[in-house]
């Protein structure tokens, strides 16, 4: 679909779209008596979008896992238009579950006041997932055809048709620090480069590991004639790294800690540092604290994009909508009990207590900003909060079909109570893979957007922490000094309004004066 926008706020020049936009907000101050003083503000900006779509490569950490093989399979199936047969009939390839490929956004209204929608990716040029060059690392040496069989995600008829395209692909050797992932992953770790002359795992040369990853990125970019590379972690959940002053609290200390082979430098942080030094965007799709303060400072210094943490695919995405709905309705949730069982390798790794703790933290934080939004329901001084219980169990029989059960127990007026129970069965990797596509497509796009305040001399990039990716992430990383936004509707509205302002449209609202005024 072609969308032609006629706006006096935009000018196309030198293959770039230039737009003027006034950002309006309100600054609120609270005095000692509790009075809120609100002052409207307005700042004029110039935005510039590079309209040329670059040839983009994607390197996955965890290429041979369930998400990695499903991502490769989805790209190949869509690129080559591979249909397949299952018990329900012929299935044509698609990218259902992807916002950038399968959702729409509102353009405006027609002459009769009816909403008009267009594909999300029709307003501005985005990378087509079919054009992505995909490769990556894995601690398992299994080729992708066998890894796809092992994952048991895609239908057998589709797998059979994909094999000729992927049977020669073997993941690049990765790094393996046994202390950071569950001991039960040891048998898979037969494709690691951090080994000594006797073939034993060597975790005492971490700067070498950084340099090896940098070399892999450089070679991948050169060998495939790429304009850009994006790296995304979809490997095992690691335990949390301990935050230690003088080790990972600043960029310089972190680099020093890597060179001194400190035990609290994780593999995911090593990958992040390598990417930052290469000025390659790095996205963390797992819940561990990859982005210790030193990583964020390094990203700021090198003006390299980072985004995380943890894919927001099923249970937590529902929670970020339902909890917000209850609080916005003036209903007071007092407890949320969440239970999961799954049988894929992610569940196997999470059966270890330290790795589960990483996941527990990321799933629990999703209601934090929702609680803070309503002081009527939750008194900060009294320490009011939602009792939030999270359980994850490994059950091999269910495979990739994760079972999630939630109970929301809420307080109503005059001592009444409300209980909402949800039973959700989802194919985990088929929900996560579209998120990977969106994260990559949007990250590349944000690299082509620059801004400046009206009157400033030069354009700037977005801040290093790409908080606009929060829609797809369970525990979104925030800029230091700011609080993360978890509400799904707020996250989606921010993305929609950015696209609208970049093409000269007003930001979205639902005042609907066409029908509500005389």
- Residue numbers annotated as active site: 310, 359, 402, 474
| Phi-psi map region of 448: left, alpha, beta (phi>0 left; psi -120 to 50 alpha) | alpha
Up-side HSE of residue 273: CA atoms within 13 Å toward CB? 28
Among candidates 289, 193, 192, 306, which has minimal Cα distance to 237? 289
Paired residues of 21 in beta bridges:
45
The region that residue 104 occupies, defined by phi over 0 for left and psi between -120 and 50 for alpha, beta otherwise, is beta
Distance of CA 35 to the CA centre of its chain: 38
- Interatomic CA distance for residues 200 and 189, integer angstroms: 11
Cα–Cα distance list, 314 to 225, 388, 495 (Å) = 36, 17, 20
Torsion angle of alpha carbons 481, 486, 487, 493, nearest 10°?
Answer: 70
CA 63 vs. chain centroid, Å, equals 17
Identify the burial level of 32 via C-beta atoms within 10 angstroms of its C-beta, where 0-12 means exposed, 13-18 middle and 19 or more buried.
exposed
Long-range CB contacts for residues 487-491, cutoff 8 Å, separation at least 24:
487/320, 487/321, 487/324, 487/369, 487/370, 488/317, 488/320, 488/321, 488/324, 489/321, 489/324
Which strand (E) or helix (H) includes residue 424?
strand 417-427
Longest distance between any two alpha carbons in the chain, whole Å: 83
Beta carbons within 10 angstroms of residue 78's beta carbon: 18
What contacts 143, CB < 8 A, 6 or more positions away? Answer: 166, 167, 168, 169, 170
The residues that bridge with 452 in the sheet, in sequence order, are: 46
CA distance 70 to 78: 12
Instruction: Give the C-alpha distances (Å, rounded to integers) separating 480 from 143, 247, 303, 350, 363.
Output: 41, 18, 15, 29, 20
DSSP letter (8 states) at residue 174: B
CB atoms closer than 10 angstroms to residue 481: 5
Question: Which tokens is 364 given?
Answer: 């629990």
Residues with Cβ within 8 Å of residue 383, at least 6 apart in sequence: none
Beta bridge partners, 174, equal: 192
d(CA 426, CA 403): 7
Let me know: does 265 contact 469? Beta carbons within 8 Å: no
């Amino acid at each position: 679909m072609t969308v032609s926008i006629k706006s006096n706020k935009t000018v196309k020049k030198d293959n770039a779209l230039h737009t003027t936009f006034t950002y309006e907000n309100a600054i609120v101050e609270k005095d000692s008596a509790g009075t809120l003083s609100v002052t409207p503000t307005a700042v004029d900006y110039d935005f510039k979008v590079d309209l040329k779509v670059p040839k983009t490569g994607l390197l996955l950490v965890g290429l041979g896992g369930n998400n990695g093989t499903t991502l490769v399979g989805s790209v190949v199936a869509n690129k080559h238009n591979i249909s397949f047969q299952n018990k329900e009939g012929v299935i044509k390839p698609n990218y259902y579950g992807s916002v950038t490929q399968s959702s729409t956004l509102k353009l405006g209204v027609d002459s009769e006041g009816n909403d008009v929608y267009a594909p999300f990716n029709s307003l501005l040029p985005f990378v087509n997932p079919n054009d992505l060059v995909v490769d990556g690392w894995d601690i398992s040496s299994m080729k992708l055809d066998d890894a796809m069989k092992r994952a048991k995600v895609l239908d057998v008829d589709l797998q059979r048709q994909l094999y000729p395209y992927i049977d020669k692909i073997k993941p690049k050797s990765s790094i393996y620090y046994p202390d950071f992932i569950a001991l039960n992953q040891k048998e898979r770790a037969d494709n690691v480069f951090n080994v000594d002359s006797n073939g034993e795992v060597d975790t005492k040369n971490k700067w070498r590991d950084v340099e090896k990853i940098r070399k892999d990125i450089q070679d991948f970019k050169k060998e495939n004639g790429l304009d850009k590379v994006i790296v995304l972690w979809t490997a095992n959940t690691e335990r949390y790294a301990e935050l230690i002053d003088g080790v990972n609290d600043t960029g310089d200390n972190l680099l020093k800690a890597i060179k001194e082979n400190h035990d609290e430098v994780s593999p995911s942080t090593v990958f992040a540092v390598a990417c930052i030094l290469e000025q390659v965007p790095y996205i963390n799709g797992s819940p561990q604290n990859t982005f210790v303060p030193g990583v964020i400072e390094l990203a700021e210094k090198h003006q390299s994009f980072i985004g995380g943490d943890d894919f927001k695919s099923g249970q937590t995405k529902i929670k970020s909508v339902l909890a917000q709905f209850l609080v916005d309705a003036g209903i007071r949730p007092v407890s949320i009990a969440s239970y999961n069982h799954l049988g894929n390798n992610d569940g196997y790794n999470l059966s270890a207590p330290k790795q589960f703790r990483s996941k527990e933290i990321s799933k629990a934080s999703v209601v934090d900003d929702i609680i803070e939004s309503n002081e009527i329901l939750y008194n900060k001084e009294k320490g009011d909060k939602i009792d939030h219980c999270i359980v994850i169990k490994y059950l091999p029989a269910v495979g990739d079909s994760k079972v999630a059960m939630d109970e929301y127990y809420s307080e109503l007026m005059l001592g009444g109570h409300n209980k909402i129970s949800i039973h959700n069965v989802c194919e985990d990797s088929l929900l996560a893979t579209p998120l990977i596509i969106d994260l990559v497509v949007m990250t590349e796009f944000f690299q082509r957007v620059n801004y400046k305040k009206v009157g400033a001399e030069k354009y700037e990039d977005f801040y290093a922490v790409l908080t606009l990716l929060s829609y797809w992430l369970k525990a979104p990383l925030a800029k230091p000094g700011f609080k993360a936004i978890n509400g799904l509707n707020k996250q989606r509205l921010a993305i929609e309004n950015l696209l609208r302002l970049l093409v000269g449209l007003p930001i979205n609202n639902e005042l609907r004066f066409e029908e509500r005024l005389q």
